């Protein structure tokens, strides 16, 4: 019987991305995956792992942790790692290229959930400012933050007939520049509250800070598509229903063609945020901005746009960002049956509840000077729908008052930005909890509790936000 071939790690290293034959190590086994690379659903990203150990990458791309993927790999088995290279019976994990080595430094005030990949909330101190400073804008990275060279950067557009048109950054900047003020909100914003208010919801346990608002400058996607030769009107393109975006790592998503082409959709290819070039974490040199849609569709480090009959086949389009019923779980759902989240429902949160200092006590209705509490927060609705009212309760939902909606200057053909609000209430009205709910121009509002809206992926948490009033005597 054949003994497995013993392979030194030095030999594995010679079969990296520059080699004709490309190998990877998983566990203590070596695989020659040369033939399979063109079929990798994540594209060229896999070239980062060849010539080394793949386990570390699979920790990041958890989608690989399933039998069918292990079975594919087994077909390419060529031998075992030479025992002389094992430490405590295992392949040492160091010496592989660190996918996060080019990640930028981050602002110390961000509330970090995971560092690699970086997932961090905006600090509450900035959630009550209309514009979020770029360095405090929340960061949601599924993988590393690619560091792209703006000079050699190219955006490729794939037309329905397969023809490709590429643009440099300089070429893109020659199109009319458009400013849009938009809120990006992660589908997981406030997931922690769903977990607390119902049951554990899968994913990062975000508080109220997986949302931020900035002014963005870029060019209209519809202008670029038209220039590339697609205006969506030709009969022979009638089958095209989606615009797919591919990032430079492996992230991908898509939006309906209708949103992309709408004159009122304000879908941009963005190169500036708050008056500066996009920061690396937010997609430098170019990201998509799909205002009014869940932020997962605003693909960063944009490399490729394709016009297609189907949605993006990425896990982020096909799986992660969908909602099911409160009784359903990951093992029993038909993923294809639920639509990918695009526009988002009404959201609001209380960012602070504080006793006003004596000097700022307000004259209240009876002309008496009373101890007062100031409550502040944000409210937001997807789809370009304006927030028309914010109801705040000082006593756990028994009585309600309308908050003042603060003025701001938001650019855009629809309302894509959140609304900041504020309310001053006499302290004697305060119960155990302050509560907020908002209403949008379609008279949509938020559910009273989490249970009926529980979904196991923990998406679109939107129940009334409750915050305890701590300073009662
Ligand atoms: N684009 C790429 N290329 N890679 C990513 O991981 N994350 C998406 C989206 N675009 C992501 C991406 C998700 S889920 C969100 S919520 C937003 O980017 C976050 O954008 P931000 O980090 O600029 O706040
Ligand atoms: Mo997200």
DSSP code for 85: G
pLDDT of amino acid 46: 82
Mean pLDDT of 186-207: 97
Query: Please, which pLDDT band fits residue 145 given cuts at 50, 70 and 90?
Result: very high
CA 472 to centroid of ligand 2, rounded, Å: 37
| Residues labelled as active-site residues | 40, 64, 140, 186, 321
Class of domain 347-468: mainly beta
pLDDT of amino acid 473: 61
Mean pLDDT of 133-146: 96
29 beta partners? 26, 80
Residues 6+ apart with CB under 8 A from 266: 178, 180, 182, 220, 289, 291, 384, 412, 413, 414, 416
pLDDT in tens, 433-459: 999 999 999 999 999 999 999 999 999
Atom of ligand 1 nearest to the CA of 188: 16
pLDDT of amino acid 434: 98
| pLDDT score of 61 more than 80 | no
| pLDDT score of 62 more than 80 | no
CA 38 to centroid of ligand 2, rounded, Å: 28
pLDDT of amino acid 386: 98
Rounded CA separation 179/224 (Å): 16
Which residue, by CA, sits nearest to atom 12 of ligand 1?
A: 299
Among 209-213, 313-317, 336-340, 382-386, which is the least confidently predicted range?
313-317
pLDDT of amino acid 307: 97
| E strand or H helix that includes residue 441 | none
- Of 307, 294, 327, the residue nearest 211 (C-alpha): 294
pLDDT of amino acid 232: 86
Statement: 6-85 belongs to CATH 2.60.40.10: no
pLDDT of amino acid 129: 98
Start-to-end CA distance of the chain, whole Å, equals 82
Q: Given ligand 1 and candidates 100, 141, 211, 289, which is best to mutate, with the most ligand atoms within 8 Å of its CB?
A: 141
pLDDT of amino acid 83: 94
Residues near ligand 1 (Cβ within 6 A): 137-143, 184, 186, 247, 249, 251, 281-282, 295-296, 298-301
CA 246 to centroid of ligand 1, rounded, Å: 12
Q: Given ligand 1 and candidates 215, 298, 305, 459, which is best to mutate, with the most ligand atoms within 8 Å of its CB?
A: 298
Mean pLDDT of 374-387: 98
| pLDDT score of 377 more than 70 | yes
| pLDDT score of 96 more than 80 | no
- Of 292, 297, 267, the residue nearest 416 (C-alpha): 292
Mean pLDDT of 145-165: 96
pLDDT in tens, 263-283: 999 999 999 999 999 999 999
Question: CATH classification of 111-337, choosing from 3.20.20.10, 3.40.50.300, 3.40.50.880, 3.90.420.10?
Answer: 3.90.420.10
CA 450 to centroid of ligand 1, rounded, Å: 25
Atom of ligand 1 nearest to the CA of 139: 22
Atom of ligand 1 nearest to the CA of 302: 3
Which residue, by CA, sits nearest to atom 22 of ligand 1?
A: 139
Q: Which two tokens stand for residue 193?
A: 């509250």
User: Which sequence spans correspond to the domains of the chain?
Assistant: 6-85, 111-337, 347-468
Reduce the DSSP state of residue 225 to 3 states and report it. helix
pLDDT of amino acid 167: 98
User: 164: exposed, middle or buried (C-beta count within 10 Å: 0-12, 13-18, 19+)?
Assistant: exposed
pLDDT of amino acid 364: 54
Residues 6+ apart with CB under 8 A from 116: 60, 100, 103, 144
Query: Please, which pLDDT band fits residue 3 given cuts at 50, 70 and 90?
Result: confident
pLDDT of amino acid 42: 67
CA 296 to centroid of ligand 1, rounded, Å: 6
- The residue that leads in pLDDT, 48 or 388, is 388
The model carries a pTM of: 0.88
| pLDDT score of 380 more than 80 | yes
pLDDT of amino acid 134: 98
Query: Please, which pLDDT band fits residue 210 given cuts at 50, 70 and 90?
Result: very high
Which residue, by CA, sits nearest to atom 11 of ligand 1?
A: 141
pLDDT of amino acid 250: 85
pLDDT of amino acid 347: 98
* Mean pLDDT estimate for the chain: 93
Mean pLDDT of 1-10: 88
- Residue 358: Cβ within 10 Å count: 8
pLDDT of amino acid 412: 98
Task: Check if the beta carbon of residue 264 is closer than 8 Å to that of residue 412.
Answer: no
Ligand nearest to the CA of residue 286, numbered in listed order? 1
Atom of ligand 1 nearest to the CA of 281: 22
pLDDT of amino acid 234: 78
% of the chain residues with pLDDT over 70? 95
| pLDDT score of 144 more than 80 | yes
Rounded CA separation 29/70 (Å): 12
- Apex CA 327: angle with CA 321 and CA 328, to 5°? 45
Peptide bond into 117 cis (omega under 30): yes
Atom of ligand 1 nearest to the CA of 248: 3
pLDDT in tens, 64-84: 777 888 888 999 999 999 999
Ligand nearest to the CA of residue 146, numbered in listed order? 1
CA 145 to centroid of ligand 1, rounded, Å: 10
pLDDT of amino acid 252: 95
Q: Given ligand 1 and candidates 142, 249, 281, 312, which is best to mutate, with the most ligand atoms within 8 Å of its CB?
A: 142
Q: Which residue has the tokens 């949160």?
A: 349
Residues 6+ apart with CB under 8 A from 225: 157, 231, 232, 243, 260, 261, 305, 307
pLDDT of amino acid 47: 83
Mean pLDDT of 215-225: 98
Atom of ligand 1 nearest to the CA of 141: 6
- Per DSSP (E only), the strands in 221-299 are 242-247, 252-256, 268-273, 276-277, 287-289
Residues 6+ apart with CB under 8 A from 206: 113, 121, 186, 188, 189, 190, 191, 192
Which residue, by CA, sits nearest to atom 9 of ligand 1?
A: 296
User: 189: exposed, middle or buried (C-beta count within 10 Å: 0-12, 13-18, 19+)?
Assistant: buried
Peptide bond into 285 cis (omega under 30): yes
Ligand nearest to the CA of residue 301, numbered in listed order? 1
% of the chain residues with pLDDT over 90? 79
Mean pLDDT of 391-403: 97
CA 196 to centroid of ligand 2, rounded, Å: 20
The DSSP string of 86-121 is -BTTB---TTS--TTTTPPP--TTSEEEETTTTEEE
Mean pLDDT of 400-422: 98
| pLDDT score of 128 more than 60 | yes
Rounded CA separation 361/371 (Å): 6
CA 75 to centroid of ligand 1, rounded, Å: 34
| E strand or H helix that includes residue 308 | strand 302-308
pLDDT of amino acid 98: 75
Which residue, by CA, sits nearest to atom 8 of ligand 1?
A: 296
pLDDT of amino acid 56: 77
Ligand nearest to the CA of residue 216, numbered in listed order? 1
Q: Given ligand 1 and candidates 140, 268, 320, which is best to mutate, with the most ligand atoms within 8 Å of its CB?
A: 140
């Amino acid at each position: 019987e054949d003994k497995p071939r013993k392979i030194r790690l030095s030999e594995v290293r010679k079969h990296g991305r520059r080699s004709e034959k490309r190998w990877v190590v998983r566990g203590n086994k070596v695989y020659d995956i040369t033939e399979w690379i063109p079929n990798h659903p994540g594209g060229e990203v896999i070239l980062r792992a060849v010539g080394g150990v793949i386990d570390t990458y699979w920790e990041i791309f958890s989608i690989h942790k399933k039998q069918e993927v292990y079975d594919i790999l087994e077909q390419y088995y060529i031998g075992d790692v030479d025992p002389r290279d094992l430490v405590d019976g295992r392949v040492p994990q160091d010496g592989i290229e660190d996918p996060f080595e080019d990640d930028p430094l981050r602002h110390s005030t961000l509330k970090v959930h995971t560092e690699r990949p970086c997932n961090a909330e905006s600090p509450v101190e900035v959630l009550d400012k209309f514009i979020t400073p770029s360095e405090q804008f929340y960061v949601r990275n599924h993988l590393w933050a690619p560091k792209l060279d703006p000079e050699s950067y190219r955006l490729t557009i794939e037309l329905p007939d397969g023809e490709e048109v590429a643009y440099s950054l300089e070429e893109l900047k020659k199109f009319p520049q458009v400013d849009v003020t938009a809120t990006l909100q992660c589908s997981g914003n406030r997931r922690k509250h769903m977990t607390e208010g119902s049951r554990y919801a899968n994913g990062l346990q975000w508080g109220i800070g997986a949302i931020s608002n900035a002014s963005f400058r870029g060019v209209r996607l519809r202008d670029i598509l038209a220039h590339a030769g697609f205006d969506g009107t030709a009969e022979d393109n009638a089958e095209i229903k989606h615009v797919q975006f591919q990032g430079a790592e492996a992230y991908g998503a898509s939006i309906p063609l209708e949103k992309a082409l709408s004159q009122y959709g304000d879908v941009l290819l963005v190169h500036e945020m708050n008056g500066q070039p996009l920061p690396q974490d937010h997609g430098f040199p170019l990201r998509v901005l799909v205002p009014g849609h869940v932020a997962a569709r605003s693909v960063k480090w944009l490399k490729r746009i394709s016009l297609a009959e189907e949605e993006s086949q990425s896990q982020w389009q096909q799986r992660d960002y969908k909602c099911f019923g409160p009784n359903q779980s990951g093992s029993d759902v038909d993923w294809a049956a639920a639509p990918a989240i695009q526009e988002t429902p009404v959201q609001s949160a209380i960012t602070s509840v504080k006793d006003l200092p004596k000097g700022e006590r307000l004259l209240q209705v009876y002309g008496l000077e009373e101890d007062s509490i100031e409550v502040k927060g944000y409210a937001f609705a997807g789809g370009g729908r304006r927030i028309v009212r914010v109801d705040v309760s000082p006593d756990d939902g028994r009585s309600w008052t309308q908050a003042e909606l603060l003025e701001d200057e938001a650019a855009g053909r629809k309302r894509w930005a959140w609304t900041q609000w504020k309310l001053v209430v006499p302290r004697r009205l305060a119960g155990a909890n302050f509560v907020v709910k908002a209403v949008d121009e379609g008279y949509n509002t938020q559910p009273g509790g989490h249970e009926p809206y529980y979904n196991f992926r923990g998406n679109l948490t939107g129940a009334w936000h409750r915050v305890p009033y701590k300073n009662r005597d």
